[in-house]
Amino acid sequence: MASANAPASVRRVRALPTATATPGATTSLSREMILLIAGGVVAAAFWGVAILNYVGKLNILLRPGEGTGANPAIDFFVLGLLCLIAPYGFAATARAHRIAKIEERLPDFLRDVAEAGRFGMTLSDAIVVASTGRYGLLTDEIKKMASQLEWGVPVATALRLFEERVPTPLVQRVVSIVTRANEAGGSVADVLSMVAHDTREAQLADQSRRISMLTYVTVIYIAFFVFIVTIYIMAAVFLPQMIVAGEGVASSSLGSAGGVSLQFTYVPVLFLAFLVAVIVHAVGDGIMAGVLYNGRIAEGLQHATIMLAVGWLMMRFFVPILHT
């Protein structure tokens, strides 16, 4: 009767050996991987349109009044790239931030368990008592673990399931130490106190590193937007003046006599080079910003999305159309 009324989490635990022993069992994809696959499919469709636009099979323009060519093809290439990196980048970054919030209160929970253990409680009883506290986003995970322990799940299994729900290096290290200390016997409370102190020190060191790296991320953003403004001035002011000057020389007596010429017909090629440079810098600088800040490319994709969207919109919808 107790098994029938047990929570779903406990029933899953008791059925775990059978499920894991099944050969060829498939694991479900994470939300981030699903978004990456879906984004890749949409990106492939946009890139197909870009190729057809470039070869002249299609004539789909995002900016009216502009002829076919490389620029409309690049528009759909950028849209496909945004669809590929934006959903995965933002979802993976949000998940990383949520895990960081969970880890932030982990030392407080370990200290509370250690204090309860000093009163002679077993590790499982100490976890159940500590689960009545408030630990932010960690509270739900602690309550799940306490519920499993109250229904007779071994403490090692409950800790392992907690590690699977929050699969970070910090949680894995803590769970491994606590599990081995509990199996070895002795004063688990002293071990928990040392683990809590070490975990807090690691978090403070990581926070200090992020604060120092934030300066470099700011420099990257400033440098990118200075580059964007420079390219915008050249594309919106300098290149149109080259066309006007070239047309003036061609229609003058010097041009008709063949003495002086200005190849202003290559101006669209220069604009295309500027546009490609903006795209490359946006993706590269964005990934570098994410890697410098927290060592993850996923957050770099978030920065790359912002930079790429701003640079592409400015170059394609604020720079005047160049007619030669």
The CA-CA-CA angle for residues 226, 227, 228, to 5°, reads: 90
pLDDT at residue 23 is higher than 60 = no
Q: How far is CA 58 from CA 47, 169, 192, 292, 322, in A?
A: 13, 50, 66, 41, 21
Q: Which of 45-54, 78-87, 154-163 has the lowest mean pLDDT?
A: 154-163
CA distance 246 to 261: 7
Q: Name the pLDDT band for 265 (thresholds 50, 70, 90).
A: low
Using the structure block, give the residue that is written with the tokens 């975990």.
199
Listed ranges 77-81, 111-115, 254-258; the one with the highest mean pLDDT = 77-81
pLDDT reported for residue 223: 94
Q: Name the pLDDT band for 51 (thresholds 50, 70, 90).
A: very high
CA distance 145 to 134: 14
pLDDT at residue 124 is higher than 70 = yes
pLDDT reported for residue 98: 84
Q: What is the DSSP secondary-structure string of 239-296?
A: HHHHHHHHHHHHHSHHHHHTS----GGGHHHHHHHHHHHHHHHHHHHHHHHHHHHHS-
pLDDT at residue 24 is higher than 60 = no
Check residues 165 and 28 and name the one with the higher pLDDT. 165
The pLDDT of 284-309, averaged and rounded, is: 91
pLDDT reported for residue 68: 67
CA distance 252 to 101: 70
Please, which residues have CB within 8 angstroms of residue 282's CB and are 6 or more apart in sequence? 224, 304, 307, 308, 310, 311, 312
pLDDT reported for residue 14: 41
Domain coordinates in residue numbering, the chain: 31-103, 106-186, 205-317
- The first and second tokens of residue 226, run together, are 């200075």
Tens of pLDDT, residue by residue over 53-84, are 888 888 888 877 676 678 888 999 999 999 99
Tens of pLDDT, residue by residue over 187-226, are 788 888 888 888 888 888 888 888 889 999 999 999 999 9
Q: How far is CA 114 from CA 124, 130, 146, 190, 272, in A?
A: 11, 9, 15, 7, 64
pTM of the model: 0.77
pLDDT reported for residue 225: 94
pLDDT reported for residue 42: 96
- The first and second tokens of residue 238, run together, are 């300098």
Q: What is the DSSP secondary-structure string of 162-219?
A: HHHHS--HHHHHHHHHHHHHHHH-S-HHHHHHHHHHHHHHHHHHHHHHHHHHHHHHHH
The CA-based diameter of the chain, rounded to the nearest angstrom, is: 104
pLDDT reported for residue 287: 94
pLDDT reported for residue 16: 40
Please, which contacts does 131-138 make with residues 24 or more away whose CB atoms are closer than 8 Å? 133/108, 133/109, 135/105, 135/106, 135/108, 135/109, 136/101, 136/102, 136/104, 136/105, 137/98, 137/101, 137/102, 137/105, 138/102, 138/103, 138/104, 138/105, 138/106, 138/109
Q: Name the pLDDT band for 19 (thresholds 50, 70, 90).
A: very low
Q: What is the CA radius of gyration of the chain?
A: 30
Q: Write down the mean pLDDT value for the chain.
A: 81
Whether the Cβ atoms of residue 117 and residue 192 lie closer than 8 Å to each other:
yes
Q: Name the pLDDT band for 281 (thresholds 50, 70, 90).
A: very high
pLDDT at residue 18 is higher than 60 = no
pLDDT at residue 310 is higher than 90 = yes
What percentage of the chain exceeds 70 in pLDDT?
83
pLDDT at residue 4 is higher than 50 = no
Following CA atoms 143, 146, 147, 150 in sequence, which dihedral angle do they give, to the nearest 10 degrees? -160
pLDDT at residue 262 is higher than 60 = no
pLDDT reported for residue 252: 60
Q: Which helix (H) or strand (E) holds 148?
A: helix 138-150
